[in-house]
Structure formats: C-alpha cells, structure tokens
Amino acid sequence: MRIFTLLFLLFPILELAVLISVGSAIGVLPTIALVILTSIFGGLMLRIAGITTAWRARERLARGEMPDQEVLQGLMMAVGGGLLLLPGFISDVIGIFCLLPFTRRWLVERVRQRAAEQAERQRAFADDMAARNGQPGGHKPNVLEGEYERRD
C-alpha cells in the first residue's frame, strides 16, 4: 500500500517535470497540441475498445465459449485509452504500451498468469484451513460413522 501512496504522490511530479522539459524543448504550443491530440486519441480508443470488446464477446458467446480473452484485451484497450486521456507524456507512453497488439497480448498473458497463481494460492490456503478444521474438502479423508451388523 505504501508503494501506491508513493506513486500517487510521485507520478504527478514526474509528469509535470516531463511536460516542462518537452515544453522547453519544442515550445509551449506544440506541447499543448500534443497533449490535446493524445487526449482525443484516448477518447476514441475508449469508444472503439467498448464497441469491439462487446462485438467479440458476443461472437464468442454465440459459439458457446467464454469471452475471457476478449474481455481482458478490451480492458487493456480501455486502460490504454484512459491513460491517453490524462495530460502528460509518461501516461501516454504507458497507454500506448497497453494499446499495441503485441504488448497488449503480453500484458493479458501476464494478468492471466498472475490471476491463476493467486487463485492457486487461495485454493491451497482454503484446502489447508478446511483440513485443519476437519471440514470436508480438505486433505483428510471423508469418514462416515455408523454401525452395522452382519446377517447370514
């Protein structure tokens, strides 16, 4: 949590420093024009991401498949578009990284791997707790208590 607080405070300062550096290198008006153009491009990407994600997900659902890949790629496109909406060049670079197809696929795979690892850790923790508490579903065998009598 501390890292997020640090990034929350540090990120705007870095963005401002980069904006000032770019503004002093290319001028104020071209810098403002670049920020406005990337914001317009980000807004368009948000629209396109929503429409294409819904369309691809509908196609996969019509085939009886889960649209998990399409949803994650649409989410990455939306994050990239949202980052382009923010004023600043650092967020624009990260946003473009989310929008490029090959880097977007790489990010989606990393997110899927991370989610699978997290689910495995939680499943192992839940199984361990169930075994300690003697609940079914743990690693202890299910034992049914009862009586019987043998009849010939």
Q: Count of domains in the chain?
A: 1
The reply to whether 46 falls in a domain is yes
Q: Dihedral sign, CA of 107, 110, 116, 118?
A: negative
The conformation of residue 86, written as its DSSP 8-state character, comes to S
Q: Please say if the pLDDT value at position 129 is more than 80.
A: no
The reply to whether 38 falls in a domain is yes
Q: Which domain holds residue 40?
A: 33-116
The reply to whether 140 falls in a domain is no
The reply to whether 89 falls in a domain is yes
The reply to whether 88 falls in a domain is yes
The reply to whether 151 falls in a domain is no
Quick: pLDDT tens for 87-128: 889 999 999 988 888 898 898 899 888 888 888 877 766 655
Q: What pTM value is reported for the model?
A: 0.69
Nearest to 86 by CA among 98, 74, 102, 103: 98
The reply to whether 123 falls in a domain is no
